[in-house]
């Protein structure tokens, strides 16, 4: 039985898979219940697939490929625009699902869905700008063209499941690739509803498919099956490493957007108020479950006593609660694992000499008892022996280290296996630029904490990943270069 009587009775979202234009159950008939991290209420029931379903989705994408890659960029653009319109039409419903399954405040969910529609609109136009070259030489003429890679796979995480799906679906489809999406297994509802809305914008069957299930089964099949030619993952560094190893068998093209541990440097001449406000925003947005979260704060000794109280004030001002309530700034963490990791990192820091300036525990009260809530936490006097500075906490923790010089701050900032985003606050823009040149990260922000912009490339250095998303670089990831030589 697919959705059993108990599941049907509950007022829950039912999420099937999308294969070859059809909304289908998994072959095994297995289902899983999705729960609200704010209170454990069941909010959805989802078909759970296995490698057979993944295989069927890849075959459907393969069948749809020849016609899709032959279609004009204008037509693909029209269908992507129409998908974006559909997404916006259903934005309230998709945003509500997102809040129910991952816990983030409803206003943030709504922003995420709108951003995802903008990504589709952007690539609807960018697809027309896949140009080639005509090269003349002594013995011949050459045409250099860029062609879609083939069947592409998108594997996405739970923290921004809708937006990050659009980062892959938009450029892949615009480039002429067909795609299989595997949403995060514990939060597949909103990403599936988004993909359905895109499909119902008029895509031919098989161009966009969605399969649900565990990464180790469904994700693994999508990576290893010879049909897929391109894998785009956003997820943990360890998952990226696994995919890289297994995709190596057939030398598949990869885009890997992985973990981060972003440094935030406060220079002596910084606008301290603005730095503290921005720091609080970027450390605690989405309860710190963000790959570009501020993870390590290096503040110049001489301004630390001005900066720190302002950061603490910003942390304490945040309203923590169920994301469905309109005044809430920060929802629960996504899972028990996230909560445990956050607690462990704080305990490790305290044991090694850090001081908790605020937070450091779950909020008190009946409304918090069943959820994975945790207060925004500021730690002072941390050092690089602590896990908060070495690993990705993915929780609402802002650890501060006081530094004697900005040279010292930069060398600590670079002392990380990650290199996704870095932030520096200074009023001397030239100094900021020189510092940006020395920081090892895919995005460096001077006096802002917004590295993500539709028009600019986003991606990581070192163990934060490979390849770039967004901008014209995002579409390059789905194109192969072909040289056509004409002999004279
Ligand atoms: P995760 O790696 O556990 O899961 C991501 C996706 O990979 C899920 O869909 C999962 O089912 C799938 N997966 C897991 N094992 C797999 C396997 N063996 N083969 C194929 N697929 C597999 O990550 P998560 O916990 O969902 O997300 C949090 C992580 O994502 C954090 O590390 C965060 O930094 C990272 N992230 C990075 C970016 C970025 O742009 N760099 C953005 C958001 C999140």
From first to last of its 488 residues, the chain has per-residue pLDDT tens of: 344 544 444 457 888 999 999 999 999 999 999 999 999 999 999 999 999 999 999 999 999 999 999 999 999 999 999 999 999 999 999 999 999 999 999 999 999 999 999 999 999 999 999 999 999 998 899 999 999 999 999 999 999 999 999 999 999 999 999 999 999 999 999 999 999 999 999 999 999 999 999 999 999 999 999 999 999 999 999 999 999 999 999 999 999 999 999 999 999 999 999 999 999 999 999 999 999 999 999 999 999 999 999 999 999 999 999 999 999 999 999 999 999 999 999 999 999 999 999 999 999 999 999 999 999 999 999 999 999 999 999 999 999 999 999 999 999 999 999 999 999 999 999 999 999 999 999 999 999 999 999 999 999 999 999 999 999 999 999 999 999 999 98
Nearest CA to ligand 1 atom 20: 219
| Residue 267 is a catalytic residue | no
Ligand 1 in contact with 423 (CB < 6 A)? no
Ligand 1 in contact with 166 (CB < 6 A)? no
Q: Is 459 a domain residue?
A: no
Q: Is 211 a domain residue?
A: yes
Q: Which atom of ligand 1 is nearest to the CA of 260?
A: 34
What region, left, alpha or beta, does residue 319 occupy, with left being phi > 0 and alpha being psi -120 to 50 degrees?
Answer: beta
Q: Is 436 a domain residue?
A: yes
- Class of residue 407 by CB neighbours under 10 A (exposed 0-12, middle 13-18, buried 19+): exposed
Q: Is 458 a domain residue?
A: no
Q: Which atom of ligand 1 is nearest to the CA of 240?
A: 2
Q: Which of 116, 215, 282 to mutate to test the pocket of ligand 1 (most atoms within 8 A of CB)?
A: 215
Q: Is 193 a domain residue?
A: yes
Say if residue 254 is in the same domain as residue 271.
Answer: no
Say if residue 223 is in the same domain as residue 119.
Answer: yes
**C-alpha–C-alpha distance, residues 16 and 31, integer Å:** 9
| pTM as predicted | 0.96
Instruction: List b or e across 172-206, with b for residues whose CB sees 16 or more CB atoms inside 10 angstroms.
Output: bbbbbbbbbbbbbbbbbbbbbbbbbbbbebebbeb
| Residue 257 is a catalytic residue | yes
Question: Is the separation of the CB atoms in 81 and 118 below 8 Å?
Answer: no
Please give the residue range of the domain that contains residue 322. Answer: 262-453
- Three-state secondary structure string covering the chain: CCCCHHHHHCCCEEECEEECCEEECCCCCCEEEEECCCCCCEEEEEECCCHHHHHHHHHHHHHHHHHHHHCCHHHHHHHHHHHHHHHHHCHHHHHHHHHHHHCCCHHHHHHHHHHHHHHHHHHHHHHHHCCCEEEEECCEEEEEEEEECCEEEEECCCCCHHHHHHHHHHHHHHHCCEEEEECCCCCCHHHHHHHHHHHCCCCCCCCEEECCCCHHHHHHHHHHCCCCCEEEEECCHHHHHHHHHHHHHHCCEEEEECCCCEEEEECCCCCHHHHHHHHHHHHHHHHHCCCCCEEEEEEEHHHHHHHHHHHHHHHHCCCECCCCCCCCCECCCCCHHHHHHHHHHHHHHHHCCCEEEECCCCCCCHHHCCCCCCCCEEEECCCCCCHHHHCCCCCCEEEEEEECCHHHHHHHHHCCCEECEEEEECCCHHHHHHHHHHCCCCEEEECCCCCCCCCCCECCEECCEECCECHHHHHHCCEEEEEEEEEC
Ligand 1 in contact with 184 (CB < 6 A)? yes
Residue 434 CA, ligand 1 centroid: distance in Å: 33
Residue 277 CA, ligand 1 centroid: distance in Å: 29
Q: Which of 177, 267, 279, 291 is catalytic?
A: 291
**How far does CA 220 lie from the centroid of its chain?**
19
Q: Is 13 a domain residue?
A: yes
Residue 75 CA, ligand 1 centroid: distance in Å: 32
Nearest CA to ligand 1 atom 30: 235
Say if residue 468 is in the same domain as residue 447.
Answer: no
**How far does CA 155 lie from the centroid of its chain?**
10
Q: Rounded to 5 degrees, what are φ and ψ at 195?
A: -65, -40
Say if residue 442 is in the same domain as residue 480.
Answer: no
Say if residue 138 is in the same domain as residue 198.
Answer: yes
CATH classification at residue 303? 3.40.309.10
Say if residue 191 is in the same domain as residue 105.
Answer: yes
Ligand 1 in contact with 392 (CB < 6 A)? yes
Say if residue 373 is in the same domain as residue 236.
Answer: no
Residue 317 CA, ligand 1 centroid: distance in Å: 31
Q: Is 186 a domain residue?
A: yes
Question: Is the separation of the CB atoms in 298 and 265 below 8 Å?
Answer: yes
Say if residue 235 is in the same domain as residue 142.
Answer: yes
Cβ atoms within 10 A of the Cβ of 365, count? Answer: 10
Say if residue 242 is in the same domain as residue 310.
Answer: no
Residue 333 CA, ligand 1 centroid: distance in Å: 16
Q: Which atom of ligand 1 is nearest to the CA of 220?
A: 19
Q: Which atom of ligand 1 is nearest to the CA of 235?
A: 30
CATH classification at residue 161? 3.40.605.10
* Total number of domains constituting the chain: 2
Q: Is 272 a domain residue?
A: yes
Q: Which of 112, 257, 391, 392 is catalytic?
A: 257
Say if residue 223 is in the same domain as residue 303.
Answer: no
Say if residue 40 is in the same domain as residue 188.
Answer: yes
Ligand 1 in contact with 308 (CB < 6 A)? no
Say if residue 388 is in the same domain as residue 409.
Answer: yes
């Amino acid at each position: 039985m697919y959705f059993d009587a108990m599941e049907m009775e509950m007022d829950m979202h039912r999420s099937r898979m999308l294969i070859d234009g059809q909304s289908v159950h998994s072959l095994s008939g297995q289902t899983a219940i999705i729960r609200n991290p704010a209170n454990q209420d069941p909010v959805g029931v989802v078909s759970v697939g296995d490698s057979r379903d993944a295989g069927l989705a890849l075959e459907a994408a393969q069948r749809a490929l020849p016609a899709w890659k032959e279609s004009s960029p204008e037509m693909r653009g029209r269908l992507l625009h129409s998908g974006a319109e559909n997404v916006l039409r259903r934005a309230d419903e998709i945003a509500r699902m997102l809040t129910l399954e991952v816990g983030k405040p409803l206003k943030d969910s709504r922003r995420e869905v709108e951003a995802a529609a903008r990504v589709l609109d952007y690539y609807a136009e960018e697809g027309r700008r896949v140009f080639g070259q005509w090269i003349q030489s002594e013995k011949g003429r050459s045409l250099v063209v860029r062609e879609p890679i083939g069947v592409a796979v998108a594997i996405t995480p739970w923290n921004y499941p809708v937006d990050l799906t659009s980062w892959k679906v938009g450029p892949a489809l615009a480039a002429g690739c067909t795609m299989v999406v595997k949403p995060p297994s514990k939060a597949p509802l909103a990403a599936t509803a988004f993909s359905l809305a895109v499909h119902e914008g008029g895509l031919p069957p098989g161009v966009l498919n969605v399969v649900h299930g565990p990464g180790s089964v469904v994700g693994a099949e999508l990576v290893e099956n010879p049909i897929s030619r391109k894998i785009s993952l956003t997820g943990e560094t360890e998952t990226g490493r696994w995919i890289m190893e297994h995709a190596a068998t057939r030398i598949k093209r990869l885009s890997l957007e992985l973990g981060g541990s972003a440094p935030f440097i406060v220079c002596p001449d910084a606008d301290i108020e603005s730095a503290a406000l921005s720091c609080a925003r970027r450390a605690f947005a989405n309860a710190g479950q963000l790959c570009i979260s501020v993870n390590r704060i290096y503040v110049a000794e001489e301004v630390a006593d001005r900066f720190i109280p302002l950061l603490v004030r910003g942390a304490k001002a945040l309203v923590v609660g169920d994301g469905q309530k309109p005044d809430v700034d920060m929802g629960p963490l996504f899972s028990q694992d996230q909560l445990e990791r956050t607690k462990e990192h704080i305990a490790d820091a305290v044991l090694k000499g850090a001081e908790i300036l605020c937070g450091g525990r779950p909020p008190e009260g009946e409304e918090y008892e069943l959820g994975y809530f945790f207060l925004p936490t500021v730690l002072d006097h941390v050092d690089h022996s602590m896990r908060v500075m070495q690993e990705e906490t993915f929780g609402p923790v802002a650890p501060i280290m006081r530094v004697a010089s900005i040279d010292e701050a930069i060398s600590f900032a670079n002392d990380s296996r990650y290199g996704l985003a870095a932030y520096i606050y200074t009023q001397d823009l030239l100094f900021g630029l020189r510092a940006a040149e020395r920081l090892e990260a895919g995005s460096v922000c001077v006096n802002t904490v917004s590295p993500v912009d539709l028009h600019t490339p986003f991606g990581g250095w070192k163990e934060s990943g490979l390849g770039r998303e967004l901008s014209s670089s995002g579409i390059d990831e789905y194109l192969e270069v072909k040289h056509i030589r004409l002999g004279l």
